[in-house]
Structure 1
Amino acid sequence: MMGLKKLFSAAMMFSAMAMGFVAQDAAAACRGNWAEGTAYSVGDGVSYNGGKYTALQAHTACVGCGWNPAATPSLWKTGGDCSGGTTPPPTEPPPSTGGKGIAAFLSESQFNQMFPGRNGFYSYSALVAAANTFSGFATQGSTDNQKREVAAFLANVAHETGNLVYIEEIAKSTMCDTSWGPPGCGCAAGKQYYGRGPIQLSWNGNYCAAGNALGVDLKNDPDRVARDATIAWRTGFWFWMTQTGAGSMTAHNAMANGVGFGETIRTINGALECGGRNPAQVQSRINNYTRFCQILGVSVGSNTGC
C-alpha cells in the first residue's frame, strides 16, 4: 500500500491532459467521427470505433493523449444518434516492436494473459490511454529496459491489487493527516483517503498531490479514483514517474537506468518490506515481475530484490 508520507517535487506540475475546456454555448450537433484536436460542446454526438457517444463536457480533444470517447467516461457517455463515416480510428495504438510506449511492448492479449481474473474496471484501453499521458514511461533507456519497466510497473500493481481484482482497499479508514502534503491540503468533510486504484493511492496528502499534478480535484472527490479507470491508472503512473517514496529515486528512473526491479519495491513500500522486514511480500512482487518478463520476452536483469 502506498501509505508513505513524502515531500512532493515540482515535477508534479503535469497539466490536466492538455485538454482545454471551452465555453459551453455552442449548439449540440452530430459531429461525425471523433477526432483529436477538435472542440466539442455538451451534447455533441460522435461515432468512434463503431460506437456512438455523446459529450458530457465541453472540451478540446487532446492531441496524442489517447483520450478517445471509449477511454474517457468523464467526458463522454455511450449512446446517441450520430452516425459517422466508415473508417473510425483504432481503439488504441496497435502493439509493434518499432513503436514507443507501453502499447509497443504489451498487447491486449498479453495483458489478459497476465491478469486472467482481473476486474473489468482495469481495462487495457484505459491503461494505454493513461500511460500515453506520461511520455517518459517505457520510452527511455534500452529496449530491454523499456520492456522491464512495463513488467515492473504491472508486477507491483498486481501485488497491490490482488492481480487487478481490488479497486479499493479492503480495510478502509479515513487516512487523514494534515501535517504533510501540498500547501492547503486538508481533508474534505466526510471523505476518506484509503487506498484506491492500481497502486492503492492513500492518504489525503497523496490524493491532493496527485490531483494537483493531473488537474483533477481528488481532495474533494477521492472516490473518482475508483470510478474512472483512466484516472485510476494515471494516479499509478503519477506515483511511478514522480515520487521517490522510501527510496532514493523514482521507480521509473530505477527501471529506465537499469538499477533494477528491487529499487521499485523500495520506492513503493520499502519501509515495510525491504531490508528483511517482509521477505514474503518482496518475493511476491519478484514472482510477478519474473512471470511478466517472460511474457514480454525479456530477461529480469540484475538486482531484483531489496
Structure 2
Amino acid sequence: MRKLISLVVALVALLVPGVVSVGSAVGATTACSYTNWVQGQWYVTGNIVKFEGSYYIAEYDNPGYSPTVSTWYWDPYNCDGGSTSGFPVSESLFNQMFPNRNSFYTYSGLTTAISAYPGFANTGDDTTKKREAAAFLANVNHETGGLVYIKEINEANYPTYCHPELPYGCPAGPNAYYGRGPIQLSHNFNYKAASDALGLPLLTNPWLVEQDSAVSWKTALWFWNTQTGAGTMTAHNAMVNNQGFGQTIRTINGSIECNGGNPAQVEARVSAYRRFTGLLGVTPGDNLYC
C-alpha cells in the first residue's frame, strides 16, 4: 500500500504543479519539502501539504478543505513516510482484543480517526496513555458486543431518535438517527453536533457512520474527547485527570447503569477494562465503578 501511495504522489508531482515537490516521493527522504496548503485549490488523494508548520496527506480528493478542520479528508503525515497516531495499542494487540470483530471496524480506520484528536491516548505519562486507550476500547467493546455490531439491533427504537422540533429537524428521515458506530452515535442532535465538529455531512447522510470505518471511529472519538454526555466531564478528561474508569461509564450511560442502575452492565465494562489494561501491561487504577 505504501508503495502504491508513493507512485500516486510521484505522478501527482508531475501532473499537478505546486502540490508536492518534484523528487520528494513518500518515504524517500527524511526532510519534508512540500508546498504550503492553499485554500480553494483542488487536492487529490496522496497530495502532501504543509499547514501551520505540520504536514498532511490527503486521504480523499477535496476542494482545498482545511487539514485541521476537515479531518476526514486529511491525515497528519511524517517525513518517514507514514501517518501519525501515537496510539499505544498495536494492530496485533487490537486483533487480540477483538478476535471476533466485524471486518468493518478496521485498525487503520481507528488510527486514521485518531488524527482528528491527537491528544487522545497521547496525554500524560505512558501509564495514563495506555489506561485511556484501554478505557476507550473497553467501552467500545461493550457498546458493540466486541466490535461486532455496526448499528443498533432494535429497530423499534429508531423513530425515537428524531426530534423534529429542533431547527434543523431530521432531513435524512424520521427513522435515520439510530445508534451507529463504536459508541452508537444516536439522536439527530448528536449527528448535527458531530457533523459540525468533524466537517462531515452526518445530519443529511447519517449512513456514513455505518459505511466508512474512519468516519465511524471519528464519531466515537468525537464523543469521547468532547462530550460530557450524562456525566460532568468528558471521558478523555476523566482518564487524563485520574478520575477513573467509572467516570467514563457515567459519561456514556449515566444513571441507566450508574448508582445501581444496572450493576451487571457496569461489571461487564470494568471486566473488559481490566483485561485490556492487563494486555497493555499497566494497572487499571482507582475508581473503576460509578
Partner SS, residue 272 of structure 1: helix
Q: Does the 8 Å CA contact 1:197/1:226 hold for their aligned counterparts?
A: yes
Residue deviations 1:198-237 (CA, integer Å, cap 9, x gap): 1000000100011111111211101011111111111111
Give the whole-Å Cα distance in 2 for the aligned partners of 1:276 and 1:106. 32
Superposed, 1:101-180 pairs within 5 Å as 102-103=86-87, 105-172=88-155, 173-174=158-159, 175-179=161-165
- Pick closer, same or farther for the CA change 1:263–1:109 going to 2, 3 Å: same
Normalising by structure 2, what TM-score?
0.75
Normalising by structure 1, what TM-score?
0.71
Give the whole-Å Cα distance in 2 for the aligned partners of 1:204 and 1:46. 33
Give the whole-Å Cα distance in 1 for the aligned partners of 2:215 and 2:59. 20
Give the whole-Å Cα distance in 1 for the aligned partners of 2:94 and 2:106. 9
Q: Does the 8 Å CA contact 2:109/2:213 hold for their aligned counterparts?
A: yes
Higher relative contact order (CA 8 A, sep 6+): 1
Which stretches in structure 2 are left out of the alignment for 5+ residues?
1-11, 27-33, 49-57
Residue deviations 1:68-88 (CA, integer Å, cap 9, x gap): 89x8xxxxxxxxxxxxxxx98
Q: Does the 8 Å CA contact 1:178/1:205 hold for their aligned counterparts?
A: no
Residue type of the alignment partner of 2:138 = A
Superposed, 1:40-51 pairs within 5 Å as 41=42
1:62 aligns with 2:62: no
Superposed, 1:202-213 pairs within 5 Å as 202-213=186-197
Partner SS, residue 141 of structure 1: coil
1:258 to 242, 250, 267: 242
Tell me which protein shows more helix as a share of its residues.
2
Give the whole-Å Cα distance in 2 for the aligned partners of 1:189 and 1:298. 44
- Pick closer, same or farther for the CA change 1:143–1:188 going to 2, 3 Å: same
- Pick closer, same or farther for the CA change 1:148–1:209 going to 2, 3 Å: same
Give the whole-Å Cα distance in 2 for the aligned partners of 1:138 and 1:54. 22
Aligned identity (percent) is: 47
Q: Alpha-carbon deviation of 1:110? A: 0.8
Give the whole-Å Cα distance in 2 for the aligned partners of 1:203 and 1:62. 28
Which stretches in structure 1 are left out of the alignment for 5+ residues?
1-25, 72-86, 94-100
Give the whole-Å Cα distance in 1 for the aligned partners of 2:15 and 2:137. 40
Q: Alpha-carbon deviation of 1:89? A: 2.2
Residue deviations 1:11-44 (CA, integer Å, cap 9, x gap): xxxxxxxxxxxxxxx9x948895679667747x5
Root-mean-square deviation (Å)? 3.3
Residue type of the alignment partner of 1:196 = R
1:286 aligns with 2:278: no
Give the whole-Å Cα distance in 2 for the aligned partners of 1:228 and 1:37. 29
Q: Which position in structure 1 is the counterpart of 2:8?
A: none
